[in-house]
A and B are shown apart, each in its own frame.
With several copies, the nearest count.
Chain A
């Protein structure tokens, strides 16, 4: 389940983190961001993937 953490449902993450999320099949919107303002980093995405976070059905194919 991905609770949008911004009003528009937009997740703030640099392109490199977004691409990594797709590669690992992670829904970037479901990742807890550790950066300023809750920005999602590549490390956050990895931690989420390793922590068995919800896989993204619409992720990498």
Chain B
């Protein structure tokens, strides 16, 4: 129990043990650097504790129940019942195993673990305030630091997460009963993943979105597949509406009130309201100004292609450093930060960061869309393969969606890919490797793909872009 201040030193100080921070710390230690990782809450950060991992566990559970209950067409009759408490317990077990694993991996690699809240007191010093039993604080001198403090959900005025019926994504991942009616404010990827999950669990889901479609950054034909399926699952969409307030309803539930730009109002009867309108960087309490670091107007820490902030020996990675706010981008940046600190020739020179949305069906994208390729001055060669022409897709009962490959007409270089359909999150890996390697359409098409697999659709899309597809008509 440390009361009062002790000062210790470390070569590399990492603040925050999410996928950005713990990966940076492990790689720094692997590089032989004396490394200290400070975490105030739970190892694994948002991703493992209330993001990627818990959401995917509930998506699996709800997906299996829904699929089994709707498989008469293939001769499987079941009437599954979900024990939500048990599902959450299982999810918690998965989270515990993973976060415990992170802690063990840090230790096994020789990372010093410190629990507490870090704040800068100078360019080379932080104070770590311990909570709970081990109250007090300690001062840590460092040669290099990596800020990896992540992000938290944005609150909408009038919707306080402290209220029992106003859910953040974290609350939605910890509910032990399924609300009869769920209002979802925000049709981004987090809102859509959870809307789908709860619809499959039996909730009547209403999505309210300011824009005129879901999943803003994606192409129309990609969105359409996901929206159509969500509608089939009973999800109701209300576009062009912003959530303005909630009131108690006479029947015991709540009324979610929305407003269009023109001031038109609507109300929806709900039991819980999930607010998922985006995430903001966590820098409060860090006292960045003491280290001479500024944030941009949205609060993110600005970095260069070596993940360095304006103060050269202080790096920032992950959500706190801005887009793409994704776990694997955070980890990739963490590795680059550690290697740059170790003097390796590392840089954020990745060609593309893939992204996935775990809706039904999934979306996986990497690199450029056709429009982006044209914008960048390429003459895009585009090929597609719909999953309803894929033998493997038919044998799984999931034939929605397609694979699209975008390449440069002249050289054949693969510039990007958009996949919406079964296992899109996995299939995009091959396309990502192709983009990263500078592979051509011919390289992808000439690589023998196992039959029958969904991955054949990637090959087929590449062939289609060359006017040589076998299983689909060429444009």
Interface residues, chain A, with chain B CB atoms under 8 Å away: 6-8, 10, 12-16, 18-19, 22-23, 35-40, 60
Give the total of B residues in contact with A, Cβ under 8 Å: 23
B440 engages A22 (CB within 8 Å): no
Kindly report which residue of chain A lies nearest to residue B437, judged by CB atoms.
Answer: A14
Q: Which residues of B contact A7 (CB under 8 A)?
A: 376-378
List residues 379-398 of chain B with CB under 8 A from any CB of chain A: none
User: B446 near A37 (CB under 8 angstroms)?
Assistant: no
Max chain B Cβ within 10 angstroms of own Cβ: one of A8, A15, A23, A35: A15
How far apart sit A12 and B345, CA to CA, in the bound complex (Å)?
19
* 27 A-B pairs with C-beta separation under 8 A: A6-B408, A6-B413, A8-B376, A8-B377, A8-B378, A10-B376, A13-B438, A14-B438, A14-B440, A15-B349, A15-B442, A15-B446, A16-B440, A16-B442, A18-B349, A19-B345, A19-B446, A22-B347, A22-B349, A23-B345, A35-B438, A37-B411, A37-B438, A37-B440, A39-B440, A40-B438, A60-B345
Chain B residues with CB under 8 Å of chain A are 345-347, 349-351, 376-378, 408, 410-413, 436-440, 442-443, 446-447
A12 touches B413 (CB 8 A): yes
Q: Give Cα A12 to B347, complex, Å.
A: 16
Indicate whether A19 sits within 8 Å of B442 (C-beta atoms), given known contacts A12-B411, A12-B413, A36-B412.
yes
A35-B438, A60-B345 known; 19 new pairs, CB 8 Å cut-off, are: A6-B377, A6-B378, A6-B413, A12-B413, A12-B438, A13-B438, A14-B438, A16-B412, A18-B349, A19-B349, A19-B446, A22-B345, A22-B347, A36-B412, A36-B440, A36-B443, A37-B412, A39-B413, A40-B438
Q: Are A16 and B446 in contact (CB under 8 A)?
A: yes
A23 to B410, CA, bound (A): 18
Q: Which residue of A lies closest to B446 (CB)?
A: A15
Q: Which residues of B contact A18 (CB under 8 A)?
A: 349
Task: Tell me the nearest residue of chain A to B410, going by C-beta.
Answer: A37
Contacts A6-B408, A7-B376; A16 near B345 (Cβ below 8 A): no
Q: Which of B350, B376, B443 has the most CB of A within 10 A?
A: B443
Q: How far is the CB of B422 from chain A (nearest CB, A)?
A: 27
Q: Which one of A16, A22, A38 lies within 8 Å of B443 (CB-CB)? A: A16
Q: With CB as the reference atom, state the residue of chain A lying closest to B444.
A: A15
**Which chain B positions have C-beta within 8 A of A38?**
411
Closest chain A residue to B412, Cβ basis: A37
Bound-state Cα–Cα, A37 to B347, Å: 21
CA of A60 to CA of B436, assembled, Å: 20
- A6 to nearest B CB, angstroms? 7
B345: chain A residues at CB < 8 Å are 19, 22-23, 60
* B376:A37 contact, CB within 8 angstroms: no
Which residues of A sit under 8 angstroms from B349, Cβ to Cβ? Answer: 15, 18-19, 22
Residues of A contacting B408 in the complex (Cβ-Cβ under 8 angstroms): 6, 37
